[in-house]
A and B are shown apart, each in its own frame.
Chain A
């Protein structure tokens, strides 16, 4: 997401849209308690249904999209959102990797529908849950389930000043080292996806004594063939390993080669 800063003469407009998701990533914006009112003075919130009943028509300077595409209507809607947006940033694992609902991608969705609904014939859904980038061009993808508040503020600030967001692509291991957390795999034999997971959360799970479960999706350079023997050593069989990799970023991890 690079480009010139929006014209100083006009307050840039911000829009927030939601597809299939839990609302947690847009809530992250409202969880910026210390910054929310300051931010609201620097942008015009033109479309943010969770926060305001006032809706201004597009085009929008910065659009944040939460959620994945799971219906034909949303596949159409994301095209319209893209057409109205100068910069389009996806926020969260659903919008960048299909989210937890992408578990349907490995299953029979008709069977899923019969399991959950009394009248499956009324249910309108696609057989897949796909990220926004599978449908339209995306200017920046912010990862996480949920996204991190500091990274969100960095992305919005970068947009406002016309620079590239400083969101590193390295793994959670870097954050553990920086935080001074003892490695849970080395010290305790706890299975951990930290070596292959994108940084951003601040390595919370190891700090709480558990292994990373990959909610930020794959990092820039992922070496699954090196990790999988470690997971096996620490007691995970093939089925456990598959479930471990297939949860909140199932579609993203599934696309990575597991064997050399």
Chain B
């Protein structure tokens, strides 16, 4: 136990996260006075320069918010604009969108599991370092990631900022024969995904619990990915849902009284989006293979409505979601018939539209206002990391206090623990399109 007065720990640049952020922790004795995930990613003004663009443009433009999850941006934008224009796309096009999204889930979750997160559990600096001792595992991770990218490349044209997505659907729907080699690759990926679950299930997980409200989309018959109804699961077990059109009435960015930081609150409470939230809200709707994977991972039986609230174990849920995404991609390919038209016409009209999808790291909401000729007059993007920031900071504070109460932790060990706590949430700081932590240290 240290008996020093207050100490301030800073990590100037967080590693193994997407984008650039910093950590600030102020400790007095065993109390954590302040825990901040600081975002210093420079502002890029997407919401400002989307105004004046045609209603056909946001999918290509907003993809550039994030190179790690461009499909999430493209499909949330499409959903919002189609909503504004009163257009519903056919089932076959919706299936293709879901297939594309499965590619992004596989790619992004494999990247996070193997390259960013697993090194924490094995005491390594990164995947290259990890490959020195666990080469076969890293190769499996890269192979899995490549399978996700193969879907994106075939259906989207390329893995980063796909070109084939348009409002209403796709520029071109693939020929069924072109999907056959992809199915072969995905069948091998199914084995790799299963091995991934087994591998990460053997990791050593510190105890931790997140009490925040869990927030994810829910769909009637399926694990929600490319759409659904915003659903909140409270720690007391109660569930509420609200129409997507009222998103901004529920999720609000607020100035906290004790700081100038913008924090997102859901009905005034801290909330968490992402794999833990999806698993709690929709776990029972996983495929039989993924249900089995969840049980094997030690997550319990999702059909009984289990929750996982330990953020360190989010890697297990991600691994289960990869099993699901591979399974789902194969299901869609097996049933694929080329749609008669690759896209629905989306004639412009004046109105406001809302769209939300499940980015690998959490719920991503878009809203656009259009005028009669389709010009965007207002745009709002609410990314998952912006929503999660409050829950991440609370998580940091509690973990650091628990560790300090247990015994002596030097600055290095405490800092490392906090970095791990942040990486548990796979924050995408580049996505932080319109929030910055503006707190000033007055200590």
Contacts and interface: CB of A to CB of B under 8 A. Distances in A.
Nearest to A250: B49
Nearest to A108: B48
Contact of A112 (B16, B45, B54, B111): B45
A37 B42 contact: no
Interface string B366-377: 000000000000
A49 B135 contact: no
A33 B42 contact: no
B61 A22 contact: no
Interface stretch (B64-72, B212-220, B316-324): B64-72
B129 A52 contact: yes
Given A123-B436, A204-B158, A20 B44 contact: yes
B125 A40 contact: no
B47 A115 contact: yes
B135 A37 contact: yes
Contact of B15 (A24, A53, A201): A53
B128 A37 contact: yes
Interface stretch (A97-105, A162-170, A171-179, A222-230): A97-105
A209 B64 CA distance: 21
A38 to B, nearest CB: 11
B438 A122 contact: yes
B138 A37 contact: yes
Interface in B155-178: 157-161, 163-164, 166, 171-172
Contact of B49 (A45, A112, A119, A213): A112
Contacts of B255: 118-119
B18 interface: yes
Interface stretch (B139-147, B193-201, B265-273, B391-399): B139-147
Nearest to A240: B54
Given A24-B68, A30-B115, A52 B42 contact: no
Contacts of A36: 127-128, 142
Contacts of A112: 45, 48-49
A75 B319 CA distance: 40
B163 A204 contact: yes
Interface in B40-60: 41-49, 51-54, 57, 60
Interface residues of B, number: 68
B392 to A, nearest CB: 18
A157 interface: no
A256 interface: no
B13 interface: yes
B158 A55 contact: no
A134 interface: no
Contact of B160 (A24, A50, A55, A74): A24
Contact of B126 (A24, A51, A104): A51
B262 interface: yes
B138 A25 contact: no
Contact of A117 (B20, B43, B430): B43
Interface in A90-117: 99-101, 103-104, 107, 109, 111-113, 115-117
Contacts of A40: 128, 131
B149 A33 contact: yes
A208 B430 contact: no
B57 A243 contact: yes
Contact of B67 (A19, A23, A208): A23
B430 A145 contact: no
A27 B13 CA distance: 18
B378 to A, nearest CB: 9
A109 B43 CA distance: 11
B430 A23 contact: yes
Contact of B42 (A19, A27, A119, A146): A19
A52 B15 contact: yes
A205 B430 contact: no
Contacts of B433: 116
A207 B166 CA distance: 15
A116 B42 CA distance: 13
Nearest to B157: A204
Interface in A45-77: 45, 48-55, 70-71, 74
Contacts of B430: 21-23
A210 B146 CA distance: 26
A252 interface: no
Interface string A219-239: 000000000000000000000
A35 B131 CA distance: 13
A27 B260 contact: no
A213 B436 CA distance: 31
A195 B44 CA distance: 29
A18 interface: yes
A137 interface: no
B434 interface: yes
Interface string B22-46: 0000000000000000000111111
Given A23-B18, A248-B64, A122 B128 contact: no
A231 to B, nearest CB: 14
Given A116-B45, A119-B438, A210 B54 contact: no
B157 A208 contact: yes
A60 to B, nearest CB: 16
Contacts of B116: 50
B126 A215 contact: no
For the complex of A and B, 9 pairs with smallest distance between CB atoms: A24-B67, A52-B126, A112-B48, A54-B125, A33-B142, A103-B49, A53-B15, A33-B146, A146-B160
Interface of B: 13-20, 41-49, 51-54, 57, 60-61, 64-68, 70, 111, 115-116, 119, 125-129, 131, 135, 138-139, 142-143, 145-146, 149, 157-161, 163-164, 166, 171-172, 253, 255, 260, 262, 419, 430, 433-434, 436, 438
Given A51-B115, A55-B15, A207-B157, 5 more contacts: A18-B19, A20-B44, A23-B430, A49-B13, A213-B163
29 contacts: A20-B41, A20-B42, A22-B66, A22-B68, A22-B70, A23-B19, A27-B67, A33-B149, A34-B146, A45-B128, A49-B15, A50-B16, A51-B126, A52-B15, A101-B44, A107-B48, A107-B49, A109-B45, A112-B45, A115-B48, A116-B45, A119-B255, A119-B438, A123-B43, A146-B158, A208-B172, A213-B163, A215-B161, A240-B54
